[in-house]
Structures are given as C-alpha cells and as structure tokens.
Amino acid sequence: MRFKAMSKRLTVGFSDLNLNSDIPVRAQPAVGEWGPLRVPTTKQKKRARWIVTAAFVTVTVALFLLGNYFFKILMGITA
C-alpha cells in the first residue's frame, strides 16, 4: 500500500510519452512508417538553436556599438 502511493508520486514527475494525448486530430503530425512526417529532425533543431543564438548575439553587439557611437557623438568625445 505504501509503495503504491510512493510510485504514484514518482510517476507525476515523468512526462507522458504519448505526445498526441489531448490535442485535436487536425493538429497531430501525420505518422509514417518510421515515425511522424514533416517534423524537424534533431540536426535541424540544433542548427536553428545555433543560428538564433548567433543572430541574438550579433544584434546585441550591433545595438551596443550603435548606442556607443551615438553616446560619443552626443558627448563630443572624439577617438
């Protein structure tokens, strides 16, 4: 009895592997012979993460440099 209650608490921490449980049928991916169709691969997801990270860092640095440039112009600082 005690172990059943403990095992119920442990299963709450793990996710359900049935990813299509509560979503409507029209939103579920089509399933082919080897798995879902038209779903991005792990390689594509990794590439997208790197691209987004690089774009974020590039935009952040560009905005910092632009702000620094305008700050120096407004303060009359010449390099």
> Helices then strands (H, E): number in the chain?
2, 0
Number of residues that this document lists for the chain: 79
Residue 38 CB neighbour total at 10 angstroms: 7
**What pLDDT is attached to residue 9?**
60
Residue 36 forms beta bridges with which residues? 31
Q: Which residues of the chain have pLDDT under 50?
A: none
**What pLDDT is attached to residue 79?**
61
**What pLDDT is attached to residue 6?**
60
**What pLDDT is attached to residue 44?**
93
The domain ranges of the chain are 40-79
**What pLDDT is attached to residue 35?**
78
Q: What DSSP assignment string belongs to 48-69?
A: HHHHHHHHHHHHHHHHHHHHHH
